[in-house]
Amino acid sequence: MAIRPLLGHNAQLLPEPPLSDFARTLIRWQKSHGRHDLPWQGTRDPYRIWLSEIMLQQTQVGTVIPYYERFLARFPTLAALAAASEQEVLSLWSGLGYYARGRNLLRAARLVMDSHGGVFPRDPQAIARLPGVGRSTAAAIAAFAFGARAAILDGNVKRVLTRAFGIEGFPGDKAVEARLWRLAESLLPERDVEAYTQGLMDLGATVCSRTRPDCLRCPLAASCVARREGRTAELPAPRPKRARPRRRTTVLVLHRDGHVLVVRRPAPGIWGGLLGLPELPEGEAAAPFALRAFGCTVASVRDLAPLRHGFTHFDLELRPLLCEVANAAPALHESGPVWLKVSEHGSAPLPAPVRKLLQGLNVQASPAPAVRLP
């Protein structure tokens, strides 16, 4: 048995606190088979760890890595991020989705600089109070950056615990989630918390996957309730089915000489802070409004193929109208609507469906004859 020193006047040797079979198995597996070469591993820098954990919220590792590396190249320190503008942050975040994360990241960086003297807090509860963090993310940051003993419970961990211990019910239900939190806290080891925490994440991401769990490679297979009872496809229980609402909106693709008109979307809200296409006000007829939108003289209006985009709680259908602009109002400026080069859509802070629309936009550079407004 491992021993540890007890320092003091009557120093003696005490046994290391025992590990549960669950924790011991997971730690051993992680050290041999877990992930060890991710860009944010091998560091105790809380800024880098915090950035990675925020980006990994509801986003897969393979998607996050290039965004993480570009973000660090532009903002290598927390102070550099705190000094950035929201537009700079959202430009780098564009395409990663869940844009409130980017806005909250900037708010949190400024809060750490202003209220914590630029020193990232160590306590999980203090970290959880930062914008956009929350209990599980705070625990992961504290464990990896400071070795804190705190339980995590993200989607992957819920799936592992639900299957391993046969937990019934939808994990998003408050009562079920509370039970999972109690279980997660009871399983925490007294030592090797970093390996244990990473092991939970790795197991859920690479072995105990949602649709095709690889039980033959799972270190918990011998004791897993879901495997023993043949219920890996049933656990965790799915979200109760509800009809997903669908929203529809018409957007104007005001095009002139290889540019499109974009507007800053309000925050909070869908795609808040990003650049978007002007929307047709509810109750307005499409063609008349398009012809007089933003003081432009529009030569022609035609429908483009609709785009569909799924959010967590609803589906959005964008119905674009391509409006060829002959003459534009000269008053457009940076604080309001701006003309964006279609060729620069890749670097602009645009929502994914708008970027996709502009990427496929194939219009003539020369405008059609102008149609004067009555």
> Known catalytic residues?
53
How far, in Å, CA of 64 to CA of 80, rounded? 20
Q: At residue 95, what is the residue type?
A: G
Token pair of 284 as six digits = 């307005």
* Residue 304 structure tokens: 């483009």
For 22-34, give the DSSP string.
HHHHHHHHHHHHS
- The CA distance from 50 to 364, in Å, is 46
Any idea which residue has 């606190």 for tokens? 17
The Cα–Cα gap between 227 and 223 comes to: 8
Cα–Cα distance measured from residue 360 to residue 355, given in angstroms and rounded to the nearest whole number: 9
Q: Which residue has the tokens 């012809």?
A: 291
Nearest to 201 by CA among 133, 129, 237, 151: 151
d(CA 283, CA 112): 45
